[in-house]
């Protein structure tokens, strides 16, 4: 009997302790279905947000979903079937921002489920390439524990690849834009295709519609087509062939043009542009609207003529710290390169002040508020000496008669005094 009592007390204590423990922290997951896939440009696909509570009862789901606005657009704003029973924040969709946000709730006792569809979205593919759809920071799953404990543990991204439909017409390529998924700064594309023996001609056009169909009018009998000065953006070349009096299907070829440089930016220098610190830090940042920023390059040009030609660009990231620069003046050039290899250069001039030669350097004189090269210093001194000489000359020309008379009088006085002293002796 005593053993049973002790066992009962032990069980009660165990359950009490378990009751004090928090609900399985960070247990639930939000999953995107499908998590990957290949889809054609111009087509649509459905994406569901699926909840797995991992045996924990939850009552609130908040989610922020981010998608690449240049690749896909939301085609249907219908919520569809959902485990959510009411919406504290009704789903909001923005194709301009590439964002979906909502907050949904389930009344107590909440829901304990492994395959609960929270929301189903329909996207339209508008551009070829690869895309990631991911959850943003404003994403949480709250337990039905009276405390609003966030039990969300996993929220993996989904990855997709978008491509053009297989060619039904001539097989097209481009020597100027050989990779359909890469960006190029050349705005004058050339397209070529294989000409068949019995071809009567081809109809083609270029626009920004990925699935357009050229009209039934022969534009050329040759196997090439070129365009000049296209605007930056994503373009699609469409072509179909006429043979035996019949028009065939269309082939499509996508190109990406970015002829615009990255945005301008400023270079920050720490501690300052004029410093005794031989290892200054440079900070820089910019953006690129189309192809995206690829990397930065930097070079430090010593403003002494014998070393200026030796400076080369090298890849760098911000913040970049120079190491042990010699005293002197430097021009720092930071170059931003986008994916299409467009460049934007920004410069800043810095002065590393030596402990001994604080104002003088091989390049000139540094007066803190202005730097004067030695050539200008010499010229300035020469001009100053010339002005002094002209002033003295002007005074001499104006007063030389008086000076001459005074000089003679002084000489005569000295001679007279000398004679008197001689006679006394």
Work out how many domains the chain is built from and give that number: 3
In a domain, 17, yes or no: no
CA distance 224 to 56: 63
Contact between 143 and 86 (Cβ < 8 Å): no
DSSP symbol at 111: B
Strand 343-352 to strand 274-275: parallel, antiparallel, or no bridges (unpaired)?
parallel
Express each pLDDT in 188-214 by its tens digit.
Answer: 999 999 988 889 999 999 999 998 999
CATH at residue 365: 2.60.40.10
- Kindly report the CATH number assigned to the domain that includes residue 133: 2.60.40.680
Residue 7 has pLDDT above 50, yes or no: no
Can you give the pTM of this predicted structure?
0.66
Instruction: Read off the pLDDT of residues 37-52 as tens digits, 9 standing for 90 and up.
Output: 999 998 999 999 999 9
Do the domain assignments include residue 95? yes
Say whether both 176 and 158 belong to one domain. Answer: no
| C-beta neighbour count of 286 within 10 angstroms | 18
Are residues 130 and 28 both part of a single domain?
yes
Checking if the pLDDT of 9 tops 90, the result is no
Q: Is 64 part of a structural domain of the chain?
A: yes
* 100 and 123 within one domain: yes
- Which of these ranges, 135-149, 187-201, 352-366, 385-399, has the smallest mean pLDDT? 352-366
pLDDT per position as a tens digit, 141-182: 999 988 889 999 999 999 999 988 888 899 999 999 999 999
In a domain, 383, yes or no: no
Q: Is the same domain home to 299 and 227?
A: no
Dump pLDDT digits (tens) for 78-100.
777 899 998 999 899 999 999 99
- Asked if residue 99 and residue 183 are part of one domain, the reply reads no
Helix (H/G/I), strand (E/B), else coil: 1: coil
Do residues 52 and 154 lie in contact, with contact meaning Cβ atoms separated by under 8 Å? no
Asked whether residue 151 is assigned to any structural domain, the reply reads: yes
Do 297 and 226 contact (CB within 8 A), yes or no? no
Q: How many CB atoms neighbour CB 331 within 10 A?
A: 15
Structural domain boundaries enclosing 335:
268-375
């Amino acid at each position: 009997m005593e053993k049973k009592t002790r066992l009962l007390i032990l069980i009660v204590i165990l359950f009490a302790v378990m009751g004090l423990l928090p609900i399985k922290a960070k247990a639930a997951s939000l999953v995107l279905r499908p998590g990957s896939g290949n889809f054609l440009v111009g087509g649509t696909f459905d994406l569901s947000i699926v909840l797995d509570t991992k045996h924990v009862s939850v009552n609130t789901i908040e989610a922020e979903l981010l998608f690449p606005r240049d690749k896909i657009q939301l085609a249907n704003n219908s919520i569809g079937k959902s485990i959510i029973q009411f919406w504290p924040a009704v789903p909001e969709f923005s194709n301009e921002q590439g964002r979906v946000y909502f907050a949904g709730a389930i009344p107590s006792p909440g829901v304990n489920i492994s395959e609960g569809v929270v929301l189903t979205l329909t996207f339209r593919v508008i551009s070829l390439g690869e895309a990631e759809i991911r959850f943003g920071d404003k994403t949480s799953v709250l337990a039905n524990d009276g405390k609003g404990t966030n039990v969300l543990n996993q929220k993996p991204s989904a990855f997709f690849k978008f491509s053009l439909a297989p060619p039904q017409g001539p097989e097209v390529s481009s020597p100027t834009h050989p990779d359909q998924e890469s960006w190029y700064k050349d705005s004058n594309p050339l397209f070529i295709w294989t000409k068949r023996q019995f071809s009567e001609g081809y109809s083609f056009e270029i626009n920004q519609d990925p699935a357009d169909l050229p009209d039934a009018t022969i534009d050329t009998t040759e196997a090439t087509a070129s365009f000049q000065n296209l605007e930056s953006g994503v373009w699609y070349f469409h072509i179909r062939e006429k043979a035996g009096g019949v028009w065939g299907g269309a082939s499509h070829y996508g190109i990406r043009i970015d002829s615009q440089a990255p945005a301008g930016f400023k270079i920050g220098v720490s501690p300052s542009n004029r410093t005794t610190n031989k290892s200054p830090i440079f900070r820089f940042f910019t953006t690129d609207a189309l192809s995206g920023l690829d990397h930065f390059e930097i070079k430090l040009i010593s403003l002494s003529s014998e070393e200026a030609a030796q400076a080369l660009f090298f890849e760098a990231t911000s913040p970049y710290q120079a190491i042990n620069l010699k005293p002197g003046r430097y021009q720092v050039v930071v170059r931003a390169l986008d994916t299409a290899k467009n460049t934007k250069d920004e410069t800043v001039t810095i002065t590393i002040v030596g402990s001994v030669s604080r104002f003088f350097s091989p390049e000139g004189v540094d007066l803190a508020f202005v730097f004067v090269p030695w050539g200008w210093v010499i010229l300035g001194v020469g001009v100053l000496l010339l002005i002094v000489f002209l002033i003295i000359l002007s005074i001499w020309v104006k007063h030389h008669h008086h000076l001459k008379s005074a000089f003679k009088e002084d000489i005569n006085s000295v001679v007279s005094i000398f004679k008197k002293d001689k006679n006394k002796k």
